[in-house]
């Protein structure tokens, strides 16, 4: 199953709820709601890191003023969950029977899960 996006900060295990984008030609860091897709030049942040972010000297920070909401499950997440439920619902395979429990009759044998019984005369 695909895990939720995590904060880009080193060592932070929290789920990302915001995306940081640097607009270099305007010397601005923009912190907004989590982008739909992870982009190469953006950074995903958890709420504490999104709220406490500071920019380099001479730069401005534009920050989303509303609540940062965790993203809704994606189709991939829902498909993975459905597959996990189906897998859990499958019956467990039966352990193979021990061949020593069969009678020692040489004309009786096993073929896979079937037992061969000779005809009675």
Determine the Cα–Cα distance for residues 22 and 78; give it in Å rounded to an integer: 32
Instruction: Kindly report the pTM of this predicted structure.
Output: 0.55
Structure confidence at residue 9 as a pLDDT band (50, 70, 90): very high
Max mean pLDDT among 37-46, 71-80, 91-100 falls in 37-46
pLDDT value for 1? 42
Determine the Cα–Cα distance for residues 98 and 92; give it in Å rounded to an integer: 18
Nearest to 68 by CA among 14, 23, 28, 29: 14
């Amino acid at each position: 199953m695909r895990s939720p996006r995590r904060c880009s900060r080193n060592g932070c295990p929290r789920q990302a709820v915001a995306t940081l984008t640097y607009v270099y030609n305007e010397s601005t860091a923009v912190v907004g709601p989590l982008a739909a897709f992870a982009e190469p030049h953006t950074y995903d942040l958890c709420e504490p890191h999104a709220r406490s972010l500071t920019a380099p000297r001479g730069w401005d920070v534009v920050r989303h003023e509303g609540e940062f909401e965790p993203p809704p499950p994606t189709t991939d997440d829902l498909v993975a969950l459905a597959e996990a439920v189906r897998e859990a619902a499958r019956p467990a395979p039966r352990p193979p029977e021990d061949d020593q429990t069969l009678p020692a009759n040489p004309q009786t044998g096993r073929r896979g899960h079937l037992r061969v019984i000779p005809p009675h005369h």
